[in-house]
Structure 1
Amino acid sequence: MAQKTQIEWTDATWNPVAGCIKVGAGCDNCYAERFAERWRGVPDHPYEFGFDLRLWPARLKQPRAWKRPRMIFVNSMSDLFQKEIPIEFVDQVFDAMEAADWHVYQVLTKRSSLMRNYTRRRYGAGKVPSHIWLGVSVEDGAHKSRIEHLKQIKSDALFISFEPLLAPVGEIDLRGVAWAIVGGESGPGARPMDGAWATEIRLMCERDSVAFFFKQWGGARPKSGGRTLDGEEWNGFPWQIVPNSILEALRS
């Protein structure tokens, strides 16, 4: 079944795909790769093949077996919109999310244009179902185009993960985005985050009425530097986009 997680902004993870191909500086110290490669060569382990891309069709039925509504991070160990994943399998993942619509699904990618193109193909002129949240990962100003691709998707449930935040992002228009998450890198060789970069994003979120969540400073361990920014904890969450049918269960 989907796994419990220590990620602060979700309840559980679900990985119908595992493994990924790096696409930029934000991937250099990938926590998922570091975890998966520990098990390479261990017979019958889910990560026997390390971080090589692998599809798990048997896991497609898992969300339907989980009856209590949850916030589910989809593919915490991969990226659903890799070119190497057959479009038919992406369809099956979306079919599974649509079938078990008492959960909220958080889908995060660095392949922003491919996600935009996929949603246009699947939903046409209609909106993405409100329980499927789509997000992009942006680590610095060089990758701001991902935000523009995201905003071209017809959905009220768009979010951005500025993690690991490796450099300032500069001026961005966040109108139409519901939620922003900011965090520093953690683990061996973690690159430091300047607080001014995070504060800049926080202020733009305030200006554009975007819920702001500060996850961590990062360091050798995820919680090495704590979770306060500018003297406060920031736990913003976009409750207004949670479907009414599952709102009460998620808040309880």
Structure 2
Amino acid sequence: MADGTKIEWTDATWNPITGCSVVSAGCTNCYAMKLAGTRLKHHPSRVGLTKDSKAGPVWTGEVRLNSEWLDQPLRWSRPRMIFVCAHGDLFAEGVPDAWIDQVFAVMALCPQHTFQVLTKRPERMREYLTRPAGNGLPDVRNHLAWEVTAGVMNAYLPGWKKEAPNGKRRSRAIAAFSSWPLTNVWLGVSVEDQRRADERIPVLLDTPAALRWISAEPLLGALRLRDFLPTCAQYCAHGCTASGDQECDRHLPKLDWVVVGGESGAGARPMQPEWAESLRDQCAAADVPFLFKQWGNHKPTSDCNGRYMIAATKKEAGRLLDGIEHNGFPQVRR
């Protein structure tokens, strides 16, 4: 957990689970993978999670539950935006449902915080959040309340072990999940190009969530998000005529937030200015908050032959897009 982070769109990071595997082009220069195989390679939370290759450290696919960090958000009273599993993926292939259960239990017990979940595996996320619990329990919400929350409270909340009987304990656990999907959990997917946007965003939009967002970082190509952004507000302003089995587009799930950034670190691939500008304009047209995180290790310049990208430090490149810092955030829903 880092209380205070250089990531422009969050306040803190929380790493109850570390480790991952390479699944697409956006993973090639993953900062978490490089750290796990260099500066943090001997830290107990990272040992054995990467292997050396000619290109540098690469994830092995092993994942690790850092149970000593699980309760950290419970100890913070001041509200924060918290990036969940910044050095892994909560829905990675090797992560057991039981670990995800514990993370969701803690998030439910911390309504003062906003938790930002980001994955490249939206199918697993959708399956988890929509699965029936079994044993006569109707959905994942009751499963979490009954099977997990009491255990988390037993371990970390003072006085919980002494609370009796079990009926009272279960009532308190279920109360933590009274709002579903959890209103303080934002679900997002990483999309680096159009192929991954077309693959991942529809699954995200089909997943129960209080708020849905994307991180287009590293942005490796132009993105057309028209199908995933609100589009009919201009028509509904004159009166929506949808009825019966028809659904007005404005009322279907759409993206609530778009974060864009270029790649940094050794071997960083340049992001073209027109890619970022197009996403800014698409979001403006749809009235969706837009945050431009960084240029990364390249910056735009121009001469008589036009615009092009040149190598630069992250600090030199900065995060101004057409001379403006874009810090759009969605409204926190409670």
Give the alignment's TM-score, normalised by structure 1. 0.89
Aligned in 2, Cα 1:171/1:3: closer, same or farther, shift over 3 Å? Answer: closer
Q: What's the secondary structure of 1:223's corresponding residue? A: helix
8 Å contact kept, 1:217–1:224 = no
8 Å contact kept, 1:39–1:50 = no
The separation in 2 between residues aligned to 1:242 and 1:41, in whole angstroms, is 38
1:84 CA drift (Å)? 0.8
8 Å contact kept, 2:256–2:289 = yes
Deviations 1:22-48 (A, max 9, x none): 100000000001111114663x54333
Deviations 1:33-88 (A, max 9, x none): 1111114663x543333444211122211111111111100000000001211011
**Aligned residue number for residue 194 of structure 2:** 141
Confirm or deny that 1:192 pairs with 2:191.
no
The separation in 2 between residues aligned to 1:120 and 1:223, in whole angstroms, is 42
- 1:132 aligned residue (164, 173, 185): 185
1:200 CA drift (Å)? 1.2
The separation in 2 between residues aligned to 1:16 and 1:80, in whole angstroms, is 9
Aligned residue pairs, count: 240
Matched residues, percent identical? 46
The separation in 2 between residues aligned to 1:91 and 1:127, in whole angstroms, is 15
**Aligned residue number for residue 249 of structure 1:** none
What residue identity is the alignment partner of 1:4? Answer: G
Aligned in 2, Cα 1:41/1:27: closer, same or farther, shift over 3 Å? Answer: closer
The separation in 1 between residues aligned to 2:208 and 2:286, in whole angstroms, is 18
Confirm or deny that 1:242 pairs with 2:252.
no
**Which is bigger in relative contact order (C-alpha 8 A, separation at least 6)?**
1
8 Å contact kept, 2:290–2:329 = yes
**Aligned residue number for residue 110 of structure 2:** 100
Aligned in 2, Cα 1:56/1:71: closer, same or farther, shift over 3 Å? Answer: same
Pairing 1:70-89 to 2, within 5 Å after superposition:
70-89=80-99
Deviations 1:194-229 (A, max 9, x none): 011111111111122210000101116433411111
Give the alignment's TM-score, normalised by structure 2. 0.68
8 Å contact kept, 1:40–1:49 = no
8 Å contact kept, 1:39–1:45 = no
**Aligned residue number for residue 22 of structure 1:** 22
What residue identity is the alignment partner of 1:11? Answer: D
Confirm or deny that 1:165 pairs with 2:165.
no
The separation in 2 between residues aligned to 1:207 and 1:138, in whole angstroms, is 20
Unaligned runs of 5+ in 1: 244-252
Q: CA RMSD in A?
A: 1.9
